[in-house]
């Protein structure tokens, strides 16, 4: 009796997930295997750094569909307290994303961060998806920004808004900085935020069309800053004290005094609005101050100057008011800790109200004075030794 030997098959354990699911042989070609190319589906061999094709109904992976579903059912609700703007994010933004690939990728990236925040057990999976989409979107938009046209300026403005949420929602390390980064410049999204003025000037404020609700809402929130409540803010006394110190303090560059005084005056308005709109305080309300001071004050935080850092510490209180949002949790305390490290003893006294309002407790440090040991708040030499 002759025993026929079966042909030996060398099974590969490195095939793509799609082929493994269908139980077919994968040729393992990269960035996409032949089976996935033939079936026009995304192959998981595609690397994060590989340029991505445009999204299409047939090119969406199951993860992409999950991200889109999560955005249209949950994420959009976390982006604003206004029912009109929530509807704008759910409907209009997705519709615009069907025409502009980088908007859709911005939506999927933000949804990925949202899921990563709430599903810690598979956090890395969603973070990887978010990075893939955000990198592809950035590659598409960076060449457009310096050559923006009236036609795409409004869409680029929308992308800068999505990018701001993305930057805020990205998981932080202890040395992350949001707006401030010593010797390293500002993060890319801050330049986009500063560029929104240019986008608006180029395209104009729309009175109709799909983007009108976002602009109308922003204008309405800005007008609230000019209300009579602004003079009754509980922060006024502390800001007035800071204003008095800055007014009489000798400065190397006298031209900066006007910048500081304007920044404090605008902060008074911001705190007045926060008090008047406590039940429906939004990111736009806080970041209007950033928008107004982006070109004048924010660059001074890179030096940094003591006055600019002290003023910025008060802005951290406004960020703290947004702590209930997943994308803003902890930013107020995180940044005021950096501000505290950069300030000298006089500066720390000036921000005492802000520190107490946030509820942040300075770390203990020990310094030997005249043979005696004194314990008090962190006393590192300030300028140049810590990063914001």
The per-residue pLDDT for range 106-147, each reduced to its tens digit, is: 999 999 999 999 999 999 999 999 999 999 998 999 898 888
Q: Is the domain of 337 the same as that of 268?
A: yes
- The pLDDT of residue 299 is 84
Query: Averaging pLDDT over each range in 171-175, 220-224, 313-317, 375-379, which range is the top one?
Result: 313-317
- The pLDDT of residue 171 is 85
Better pLDDT: 25 or 51: 25
Q: Is the domain of 224 the same as that of 344?
A: yes
Q: Is the domain of 276 the same as that of 353?
A: yes
Full residue range of the structural domain in which residue 69 is found: 62-170
pLDDT band at 373 (very low <50, low <70, confident <90, very high): very low
Q: Is the domain of 226 the same as that of 346?
A: yes
Q: How many CB atoms lie within 10 A of CB 227?
A: 14
Measured CA to CA, the distance from residue 295 to residue 237 in angstroms comes to 27
Of 147, 102, 161, 98, give the one whose Cα is nearest residue 290.
161
Write the CA distances from 340 to 263, 294, 344, 346, 378, integer angstroms.
19, 21, 8, 11, 8
pLDDT band at 42 (very low <50, low <70, confident <90, very high): low
Query: Where does residue 94 rank: exposed (0-12), middle (13-18), buried (19+ CB within 10 A)?
Result: middle
Residue 192 inside a domain? The answer is: no
Residue 387 inside a domain? The answer is: no
Q: What is the pTM of this model?
A: 0.74
- The pLDDT of residue 146 is 82
Mean pLDDT computed over 346-372: 78
- The pLDDT of residue 386 is 26
**Whether the predicted pLDDT of 51 surpasses 50:** no
Q: How many CB atoms lie within 10 A of CB 261?
A: 15
**Whether the predicted pLDDT of 365 surpasses 90:** no
Residue 224 inside a domain? The answer is: yes
CB 116 within 8 A of CB 171: yes
Q: Is the domain of 271 the same as that of 330?
A: yes
Q: In this structure, what DSSP letter does residue 231 have?
A: G
Beta-strand (E) ranges in 287-363?
Answer: none
Residue 186 CB partners (closer than 8 Å, separation 6+): 179, 298, 302
pLDDT band at 367 (very low <50, low <70, confident <90, very high): very low
DSSP symbols for 355-380: HHHHT--PPEEEEEETTEEEEEE---
Token pair 């990236």: residue:
109
Tokens of 324: 């209930």
- The pLDDT of residue 279 is 76
Query: Averaging pLDDT over each range in 18-27, 175-184, 299-308, 341-350, which range is the top one?
Result: 341-350
Better pLDDT: 195 or 25: 25
- The pLDDT of residue 25 is 85
Of 59, 29, 18, 28, give the one whose Cα is nearest residue 41.
59
**Whether the predicted pLDDT of 304 surpasses 50:** yes
The count of domains in the chain is 2
Mean pLDDT computed over 9-23: 68
Q: Is the domain of 154 the same as that of 224?
A: no
Q: How many CB atoms lie within 10 A of CB 105?
A: 28
Note the pLDDT tens digit of each residue in 219-277: 888 888 876 555 666 788 899 999 999 999 999 899 999 999 999 999 999 998 888 88
Residue 57 inside a domain? The answer is: no
Q: Is the domain of 275 the same as that of 334?
A: yes
Q: Is the domain of 150 the same as that of 246?
A: no
| Dihedrals phi, psi of 92, to nearest 5 degrees | -65, -45
Q: Is the domain of 100 the same as that of 221?
A: no
Q: What angle do CA 109, 318, 164 make, to 5 degrees?
A: 20
Residue 306 inside a domain? The answer is: yes
Q: Which of 12-21, 104-113, 342-351 has the lowest mean pLDDT?
A: 12-21
Of 351, 330, 332, give the one whose Cα is nearest residue 340.
351
Residue 293 inside a domain? The answer is: yes
Note the pLDDT tens digit of each residue in 165-198: 998 898 876 555 655 544 334 344 444 555 666 7
**Whether the predicted pLDDT of 379 surpasses 50:** no
Token pair 């004194």: residue:
374
- The pLDDT of residue 177 is 60
For the CA atoms of 306, 310, 311, 312, what is the dihedral angle to 10 degrees?
A: 100
**Whether the predicted pLDDT of 381 surpasses 50:** no
Q: Is the domain of 164 the same as that of 233?
A: no
Residue 276 inside a domain? The answer is: yes
Q: Is the domain of 232 the same as that of 335?
A: yes
CA 191 to chain centre: 12
Q: Is the domain of 119 the same as that of 233?
A: no
- Using DSSP's 3-state secondary structure scheme, residue 169 falls into helix
């Amino acid at each position: 009796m002759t025993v026929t030997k079966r042909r030996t098959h060398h099974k590969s354990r490195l095939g793509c997930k799609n082929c493994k699911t269908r139980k077919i042989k994968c040729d393992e070609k990269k960035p996409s295997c032949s089976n996935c190319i033939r079936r026009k589906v995304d192959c998981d061999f595609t690397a994060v750094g590989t340029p991505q094709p445009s999204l299409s109904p047939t090119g969406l992976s199951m993860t992409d569909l999950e991200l889109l579903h999560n955005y249209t059912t949950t994420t959009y609700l976390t982006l604003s307290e206004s029912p009109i703007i929530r509807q704008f994010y759910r409907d209009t933004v997705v519709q615009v994303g069907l025409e502009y690939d980088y908007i859709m990728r911005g939506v999927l990236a933000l949804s990925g961060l949202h899921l990563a925040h709430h599903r810690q057990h598979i956090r890395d999976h969603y973070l990887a998806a978010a990075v893939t989409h955000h990198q592809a979107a950035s590659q598409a938009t960076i060449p457009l920004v310096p050559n923006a046209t009236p036609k795409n300026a409004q869409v680029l403005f929308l992308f800068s808004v999505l990018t701001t949420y993305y930057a805020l929602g990205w998981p932080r390390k202890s040395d992350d900085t949001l707006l401030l980064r010593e010797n390293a410049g500002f993060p890319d999204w801050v330049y986009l935020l500063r560029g929104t003025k240019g986008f608006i000037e180029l395209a104009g404020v729309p009175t109709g069309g799909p983007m009108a609700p976002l602009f109308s809402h922003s204008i309405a929130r800005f007008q609230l800053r000019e209300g009579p409540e602004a003079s009754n803010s509980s922060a006024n006394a502390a800001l007035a004290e800071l204003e008095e110190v800055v007014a009489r303090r000798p400065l190397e560059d006298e031209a900066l005094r006007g910048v500081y005084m304007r920044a404090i005056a605008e902060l008074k308005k911001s705190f007045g609005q926060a008090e008047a709109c406590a039940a429906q305080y939004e990111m736009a309300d806080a970041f209007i101050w950033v928008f107004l001071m982006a070109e004048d004050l924010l660059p001074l935080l890179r030096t940094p100057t003591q006055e600019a850092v002290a003023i910025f510490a008060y802005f951290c209180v406004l960020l703290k008011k947004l702590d209930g949002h997943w994308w803003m949790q902890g930013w107020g305390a995180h940044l005021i800790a950096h501000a505290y490290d950069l300030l000298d003893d006089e500066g720390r006294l000036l921000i005492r109200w802000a520190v107490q309002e946030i509820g942040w407790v300075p770390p203990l440090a020990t310094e030997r004075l005249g043979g005696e040991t004194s314990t008090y708040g962190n006393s590192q030499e300030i300028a140049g030794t810590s990063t914001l």
